[in-house]
Amino acid sequence: MINHNSRSGYCDCPVTYISFDFEGRYNHSGEIRECGITVLRIDNDTIGEIRNDPTRLPTNTQSCCLRVSEFQNDRIPGWAWGKGLQPKKFKFGSQTVTRVPLTNLNSEMMKIVDKERARNVPIRLVVHAAENEEKYCRTNKISAFNGLWEGLIDTQVEWRHLDPKHRKPGLANLTDNFLNLDSSMVHNAGNDSCLTMLLIVQLIRRALSL
């Protein structure tokens, strides 16, 4: 992983940020129940939008949630409700929801990533708490992000540098206390990928003010 703490690290353009998040099945099998992917293409117009309003995702942001069809009728255990891990609705209007069979999950993710690779613009992969997402990729043999891990940005690590008193700032905590949004939306893979991208927008805004 690398940290992009300088203006050149976050404000280079053109560049494409791809954030993703996995939510697993409730039976702790390690299988993916849903995946959220958000794509933000940074160009001069996007930088202008971020300067004017860093509290929302720029208009060219694309986000989707891929839900594994075989697992959508899984029983939701009581502990999941207690921890706020039950299925949630999208809170971001630009998202689309697609149900896919488990065997097609990786290929559907690859379609999204390959579309960005074809533009020949640098891609930066973004996650929150990388060890969790890397484990899901290994367990489920996800190859869609191969070749992009070297420049990974972990927003949890970035915020730990910005605020050292929080050793592992959770996405719900940052949603409440930094983004000033309702943290009850977390643990929906689509929402989480969008929230992670909003943290990147905030880091870009900070870099622009340097």
53-62 tens-digit pLDDT = 988 999 999 9
Q: Is the dihedral of CA 18, 170, 50, 206 positive or negative?
A: negative
Give the span between the Cα atoms of 76 and 73, in whole angstroms: 9
Q: What is the pLDDT of residue 3?
A: 38
182-201 tens-digit pLDDT = 888 888 899 999 999 999 99
Task: Give 92's DSSP letter.
Answer: -
pLDDT category at 87 given cuts 50, 70, 90 is low
Residue 126 tokens read as 């973004």
Give the span between the Cα atoms of 83 and 49, in whole angstroms: 36
Closest by CA position to 57, among listed 194, 204, 155: 194
Alpha helices (H) along the chain: 7-11, 44-52, 78-82, 105-117, 130-139, 155-162, 171-177, 189-208
Cα-based angle 82, 130, 106 (whole degrees, multiple of 5): 90
What does DSSP say about strands 15-24 and 123-127: parallel, antiparallel, or unpaired?
parallel
* The overall pTM is greater than 0.75: yes
What is the rounded average pLDDT for all residues in the chain? Answer: 87
Point out which residues pair with 36 in neighbouring strands: 21, 65
Domain ranges of the chain: 7-208
Task: Give 167's DSSP letter.
Answer: S
Q: What is the pLDDT of residue 176?
A: 87
Q: Options 3.40.710.10, 3.20.20.60, 3.30.505.10, 3.30.420.10; which CATH number does 7-208 get?
A: 3.30.420.10
Q: What is the pLDDT of residue 8?
A: 44
Closest by CA position to 139, among listed 31, 35, 66: 31
